Amino acid sequence: MIRHEYLSETQASYRRNLEGVERRTARSIASGRAARAVSRLVKVSVVVHVIFRREVENISDAQVKSQIDVLNRDFRAKNPDRSQAPAVWKSLVADANIEFALATRDPNGKATDGITRTKTTRTSFLPDDSMKTAAGGHAPWPARRYLNIWVCNLGQNLLGYAQFPGGPAKTDGVVILGSAFGTKGTAAAPFNLGRTATHEVGHWLNLRHIWADTLGCGGSDFVSDTPNQAGPNTGKPAFPHLSCTNGPNGDMFMNYMDYVDDVAMVMFTPGQVARMNACLADIRGGLGR
């Protein structure tokens, strides 16, 4: 379905920023700046804000680390299940050359394990950024230097949500439901392989849904090596799944930016990697430096 940007509906400045981000992304890819960025490894400092009411929501360090491990496999194309990519797209399984590590220094320069833990009275959170404030949650660490990940009891049966680059710093980052975070502890099938965070960090690095958020076949995800696709796929689809006259290979439903189960998504493409690195070379240029 075509849907309006949540923030662009509410903030005209954010909409203008997004348009600017797209112009800069296109320039960065055309000039080769994105390609130069992808040629060097970028290490992103991560802080995980665990927001809990019940003790079971206070997930373990091991569960947090299991998620960081997944990000490091998926964004380096080192995930063993990339072999599931159909033969026709194996050559498109791309290494984004991005690594993630829990922060070792907090914003004041003090040693940290990169995890904050905050007790809340809230039974659950709407996807309205309320977990990102000191009232009930935890304020972000500076978005120019850290990827902020909030883990909480997200309501409405949602697994997670993100914010594109170019948005307000005070809400920048991604939010993940505790039972969809990492591969251990409270992580629950079919979302227990850490792919919700892979998908949301993809958005945070400026990737669009592979079906382009349009009703039908008229939209674009601004990436030329992903096939045109009518809508989200869910569950564990069988290859090929056709839409938008995209035969014989059909939808690239095994892409991290579709809506399939964790076990069914295994790859980014070179076009998506170019967009992410355009973002890291420019809008999010302060990270990994």
Partner 1 sequence: MPVERSALIGSWIRSGEEDGPEERVYRRPDYPFPPARGRESFELAEDGRLVERGPGPTDVPTEDSGEWEFEDDSLRLRSPAGERALEIVSAESDRLVVRA
- Residues identified as active-site: 200
C-beta of 239 vs 259, nearer to partner 1: 259
C-beta of 114 vs 137, nearer to partner 1: 137
C-beta of 65 vs 199, nearer to partner 1: 199
Find out whether 256 and 198 touch, Cβ atoms under 8 Å. Answer: yes
Which 8-state DSSP code applies to residue 186? Answer: T
Minimum gap (Å) between residue 3 Cβ and partner 1? 4
Residues contributing to the site for partner 1 (CB under 8 A): 1-6, 9, 127, 156-164, 177, 179-180, 191, 196, 199-200, 203, 208-209, 213, 215-216, 232, 234-235, 259
C-beta of 97 vs 192, nearer to partner 1: 192
Burial (CB count <10 Å: 0-12, 13-18, 19+), residue 269: buried
CA dihedral 271, 27, 20, 272 (to 10 degrees): 10
Strands 42-52 and 147-152: parallel
Find out whether 152 and 137 touch, Cβ atoms under 8 Å. Answer: yes
Minimum gap (Å) between residue 111 Cβ and partner 1? 33
Minimum gap (Å) between residue 39 Cβ and partner 1? 28
CA dihedral 167, 168, 172, 174 (to 10 degrees): -60
Minimum gap (Å) between residue 78 Cβ and partner 1? 24
Residue 32 to residue 282: CA distance in whole angstroms: 12
